[in-house]
Chain A
């Protein structure tokens, strides 16, 4: 117990870093896939942006499914999965989205 009476939880920093690395790997890889799919489907402008958010929600749900819903035991908070993963994969998504849109629909 801390001085103000709050219950403290001791976490292993190596395992926190490992979980963050695995989460980033999943989001990076699946952002490539989702960028390719958006390019194939011909999404542009806000449609593509909306697809990015939908895909990231689906990827985050897949990560939670792998954890069997027990997020608190593996991550300090929910945003460590969704926000950290989405911010790490945004550039990759845009790259593959524009690349495959150009390949399928322009050239």
Chain B
């Protein structure tokens, strides 16, 4: 009947269903935490008057683990590689009659063969 409301349910895959996307998000969160650690480390160095020589080991470890998580995630959600070799495909069956390109039936010979 007209005016009836139809409710459809969309089966959309959310980000939390894909482990690769979750790994990428986790990797970014680790890198964000590493950023905060470096900022606080630099502030401590400024207070103590020591010159910055390099980041601490735990920051390096967080960067490494975050990068690995993001790498695994990117390789998963970016898509699949496909072989580029063209697959042989079947041609359509050649069962059509051989026809000329151009056929005309209204020519001078028609008059000879026409039965009156």
Residues of A within 8 A of B75 (CB): 26, 62-63, 66
Q: If A33-B31, A42-B54, A104-B42 touch, does A62 touch B84 (CB 8 Å cutoff)?
A: no
Q: If A29-B78, A41-B60 touch, does A19 touch B71 (CB 8 Å cutoff)?
A: no
B58 contacts the other chain (CB 8 A): no
Q: In the bound complex, do residue A19 and residue B63 qualify as a contact, i.e. CB atoms below 8 Å apart?
A: no
Residues of B within 8 A of A104 (CB): 35, 38-39, 42
B55 contacts the other chain (CB 8 A): yes
| Category for how many chain A residues contact B | 20 to 34
B19, chain A: closest CB distance, angstroms = 16
CA–CA, A24 and B78, complex, Å:
9
CA–CA, A48 and B108, complex, Å:
87
A30 contacts the other chain (CB 8 A): yes
Partner of B31, one of A36, A67, A73: A36
B101, chain A: closest CB distance, angstroms = 29
Partner of A62, one of B31, B55, B63, B71: B71
Task: Decide if the interface of chain B is mainly helix, strand, loop or mixed.
Answer: helix
Residues of B within 8 A of A75 (CB): 84
Q: In the bound complex, do residue A10 and residue B85 qualify as a contact, i.e. CB atoms below 8 Å apart?
A: yes
A88 contacts the other chain (CB 8 A): no
Closest 7 CB pairs of A and B: A10-B86, A25-B78, A22-B79, A15-B82, A29-B74, A33-B70, A11-B84
Residues of chain B having any CB pair with chain A under 8 Å: 24, 27-28, 31, 34-35, 38-39, 42, 52, 54-55, 59-60, 63, 66-67, 70-71, 74-75, 78-87
Residues of chain A having any CB pair with chain B under 8 Å: 9-12, 15-16, 18-19, 21-22, 25-26, 29-30, 33-34, 36-37, 40-42, 59, 62-63, 66-67, 73-76, 100, 103-105
20 further interface pairs, Cβ-Cβ under 8 Å (given A19-B82, A25-B79, A76-B84): A10-B86, A11-B84, A12-B86, A15-B84, A25-B78, A29-B78, A30-B70, A33-B27, A33-B67, A33-B71, A33-B74, A36-B35, A40-B59, A41-B60, A59-B71, A62-B75, A73-B84, A100-B35, A103-B39, A104-B42
